[in-house]
A and B are shown apart, each in its own frame.
Chain A
Amino acid sequence: MFSRSTMLMAAIVAPAIAAATPSFAQDGGEVSIMHYFTGALGLEVLQEIFNEFQEKSGVAIKESPIGHEDFKSGILVRAAGHNLPDVFSYWAGARTQFVIDHDSLRPIDDMWAANGLDNVIAKSVADGATVYNGKHYLVPFNYHYAGMFYNTKVMADAGITEMPKTWDEFLAMCETLNSKGVTPIALGSKNRWPAQFWFDYLVLRTAGTEYRAKLMDGSASYNDPEVQKAMGLWKELVDKGYFVANANADDWTDAGDKVARGDAAMTLMGTWITGYWNGIDLKPEADYNFFEFPQITEGLPNAVVGPVDGFVISANAANPEGAEKFLNFVVSDTDIQTKWASSRGALSANTGIDPSIYTPVMQKAAKAVADADAFVFNYDLSTPPPVAEVGLSMFSRFMDDPSKVDAILDQAAEDAKKAFTE
């Protein structure tokens, strides 16, 4: 007979064990995963992906989703407590480099070679996003592309049928829009980062990828003539009244709303804006479309800008085999990649993906990336985090008062120099 206290213990312990044990039959152990895909759509689809992985691999997943901004500090807290999950989502580029430089990630070269990932992942994305210090560390779960997203009807009403390819054509288009009483460009730089795409493209289109790489690694300075020229072009746009007033008061979704409503014609944003617009019932092509950031200086490589979301394995992962299985699964399985990319307004780095899964606008974006000479990460993923803070503040300071551009650049040059040594 059980005593009353044993019964009580059993009553407490049994459900706890049941809760701790995943419902799938396990032989591959458990992999803990922390990620920032928390939005209603992302999380739901991701959980389906997790379930499929558990069924197919026999590896159990213990996930902890956490919002984008909180993730940035949350992952640090876990690293500080020597408690990093086996796998976590991370932004490819300077942030991943930063973690690798502090010995917190595990290389995945063997897994990469064993699964032939070189043939699976698009080279344009793979080169920059997956290899650090000569080794593979990250698999790209999806990526985005930043382009000039516009309201189709507003453009048509203003009589604009051809989208600009050159800077002069772009200026002429802005002038036409302005004369029709439509603010050409919406920007919501309250949280600073949306302004970075302007800086990225203006520098890339006037000074090229090599100069930009130097600026990002600290061997060039923010008050160089190259940066001054790029900022000068930006200032001209603001001075002519092509930007909405009070950009610093708006979020990127506010800017998206202004374009959607027709208060402004276009906004320079990542492809995630298509997910946002589809969510408020705008139709690709009929209601919105995009064009590539126009060419400014002839002869420079056509670089495109965007972020890559990836998964990485922590150096002290308790179950590295299970973790590698997971990384391979989420990037190699075309069904999974199809499901994920089509649900989120994101692009897949898997070359086996049938482009017809995308909306027509996303197909165009995928082509823009495929045809580009280079794919580079947006500003805050290209330069070390302390320096990115300097630049991001510089952009919003500039949007507040462009007339001070020279002083702002001198200040940024000084601050960035300091930040590079920190």
Chain B
Amino acid sequence: MERETGVWRLVFLALPLGVFTVLVIWPLASSFYYSFTNWNGFSDNFEFVGFLNFKKLWTDKLFFNAAVNTAIWMVAAVLIPTLLGLGLALLIDSRIPGGSVFKSIFYFPICLSAVVVGQIWIWIYQPDWGLLNVAIGAVTNTSPDFAWLAKPDTALGSVIAAWCWQHTGLAMVIYLAGLTSIPEDLLEVCEIEGASTWQRLRVVIIPLLTPATVVVVALNVINSLKGFEILYIMTGGGPFNSSDTLAMHMYNESFKKYLMGYGSAISVVLFIVALTIIGIYFRELKKVDEIYG
């Protein structure tokens, strides 16, 4: 009987496992394989070059630039929506007038695709008539024409702002749900004992929101690792590679320069980075689970 169940399990798992193998494992293994070759994507003839592609990473300035940008992207895309989401959730939870309307408004951007969000923000950043420059002009009584997405110093930051605008709403909603599970009597005790707002927040609310934080951070990490589209749409890694991330750099090397072997090496690095982050995350998650059950 036991054995039969095992067989059936295998039978039922065969299809999803097969799909997973074809769509995930096989391409992954191929990337590892090609990262040791000088394949150009077209030719049947390519050679094994050992670790040459990985050695090249050390001298590739664009790779370093992309790695730094990826680090900035990962930190900002996780931290900012989380903190803003928490702030907004606390504000709305404090029953300010029109709270539920704001809740819907802040949540709305998450329903849009990266393409739509990217296009909206391209318009906002447009130098001549974009909302941002017009607003700055109205406040400062000047007529700025700063090209936010076309300047190397502001391109990445501008895309991060658009990304945060989209993802803050999700964090907010999860925190709002988390806030409803904090027992009222605990907060009453705080009031009776004369705790300041900051103390109440730091000692009671934020620790009790840990399960919500776990979910928010997890979603933000996963989303930010996947955050290729919005960058591709808004700057395409430009101007002149200043907003390249590793994913963008991999795409450029593989498909624009036809250096598929080198592109594969970059993807292997990206895979190892993602795996490390997820590994650390799961380890921390386990600790949280042990404390909160």
Chain A positions within 8 Å of B, measured between CB atoms, are: 72-73, 76, 79-80, 82, 98-99, 102-104, 190-192, 245-246, 248-249, 385-386, 389, 393-394, 396-397, 400, 419, 422
- CB contact under 8 A between A98 and B239, given known A386-B257, A389-B256, A400-B150: no
B258 near A76: Cβ-Cβ < 8 Å: yes
Q: Complex Cα distance A385/B252, Å? A: 11
Expressed in whole angstroms, the minimum distance between the Cβ of B258 and any Cβ of chain A is 5
State the 4 A-B residue pairs at the shortest beta-carbon distance, nearest first: A102-B43, A248-B150, A249-B147, A249-B150
Chain B residues with CB below 8 A from A72, complex form: 255-256
B42 near A246: Cβ-Cβ < 8 Å: no
The A-contacting residues of B in range 241-293, CB under 8 angstroms, are 241, 252, 254-260, 262
Render B15-56 as a binary contact track against A, CB cut-off 8 A, 1 for contact: 000000000000000000000000011111100000000000
A102 near B40: Cβ-Cβ < 8 Å: yes
Number of interface residues of B (CB under 8 A): 29
CB within 8 A of A386: which of B126, B128, B240, B258? B258
Residue of B nearest to A103 (CB): B43
Q: Does B152 contact A (CB under 8 A)?
A: yes
Chain A residues with CB below 8 A from B43, complex form: 102-104
Chain B residues with CB below 8 A from A73, complex form: 254-255
Q: Which of A72, A192, A422 has the most CB of B within 10 A?
A: A422
Q: Complex Cα distance A76/B41, Å? A: 6
- CB contact under 8 A between A248 and B42, given known A76-B258, A400-B150: no
Beyond the given A246-B150, A397-B240, please list 15 additional residue pairs across the A-B interface where CB-CB is below 8 A.
A72-B256, A76-B42, A76-B258, A80-B42, A102-B40, A102-B45, A104-B43, A190-B238, A191-B236, A248-B151, A248-B238, A248-B239, A393-B241, A400-B150, A422-B257
Q: Which of B151, B239, B252, B260 has the most CB of A within 10 A?
A: B239
Selected A-B contacts with CB under 8 Å, 25 pairs: A72-B255, A76-B42, A76-B254, A80-B41, A80-B260, A82-B44, A102-B45, A103-B44, A103-B45, A190-B238, A191-B236, A245-B145, A245-B147, A246-B150, A248-B150, A248-B238, A248-B239, A385-B256, A385-B257, A389-B256, A393-B240, A397-B239, A419-B257, A422-B257, A422-B262
Q: Does B176 contact A (CB under 8 A)?
A: no
Chain A residues with CB below 8 A from B212, complex form: none
B41 near A79: Cβ-Cβ < 8 Å: yes
Q: Does B227 contact A (CB under 8 A)?
A: no
Residue of B nearest to A393 (CB): B240
Expressed in whole angstroms, the minimum distance between the Cβ of B150 and any Cβ of chain A is 4
Chain B residues with CB below 8 A from A389, complex form: 252, 256-257
Render B177-196 as a binary contact track against A, CB cut-off 8 A, 1 for contact: 00000000000000000000
CB within 8 A of A422: which of B42, B150, B241, B259? B259
Q: Does B157 contact A (CB under 8 A)?
A: no
Q: Does B127 contact A (CB under 8 A)?
A: yes
Q: Does B149 contact A (CB under 8 A)?
A: yes
Chain B residues with CB below 8 A from A104, complex form: 42-43
Expressed in whole angstroms, the minimum distance between the Cβ of B94 and any Cβ of chain A is 41
Expressed in whole angstroms, the minimum distance between the Cβ of A216 and any Cβ of chain B is 16
Residue of A nearest to B152 (CB): A400
A385 near B258: Cβ-Cβ < 8 Å: yes
Q: Complex Cα distance A26/B259, Å? A: 41
Residue of B nearest to A100 (CB): B42
Chain B residues with CB below 8 A from A397, complex form: 239-240
Chain A residues with CB below 8 A from B238, complex form: 190, 192, 248, 396
B240 near A98: Cβ-Cβ < 8 Å: no
Residue of A nearest to B126 (CB): A249
Expressed in whole angstroms, the minimum distance between the Cβ of A395 and any Cβ of chain B is 9
Residue of B nearest to A394 (CB): B240
Q: Complex Cα distance A171/B116, Å? A: 42
- CB contact under 8 A between A245 and B127, given known A80-B41, A104-B42: yes
CB within 8 A of A396: which of B40, B240, B255, B259? B240
Q: Complex Cα distance A72/B251, Å? A: 12
B240 near A246: Cβ-Cβ < 8 Å: no
Q: Complex Cα distance A101/B21, Å? A: 34
Residue of A nearest to B255 (CB): A73
Q: Complex Cα distance A191/B241, Å? A: 12
Expressed in whole angstroms, the minimum distance between the Cβ of A281 and any Cβ of chain B is 22
B258 near A98: Cβ-Cβ < 8 Å: yes
Q: Which of A79, A102, A192, A249 has the most CB of B within 10 A?
A: A249
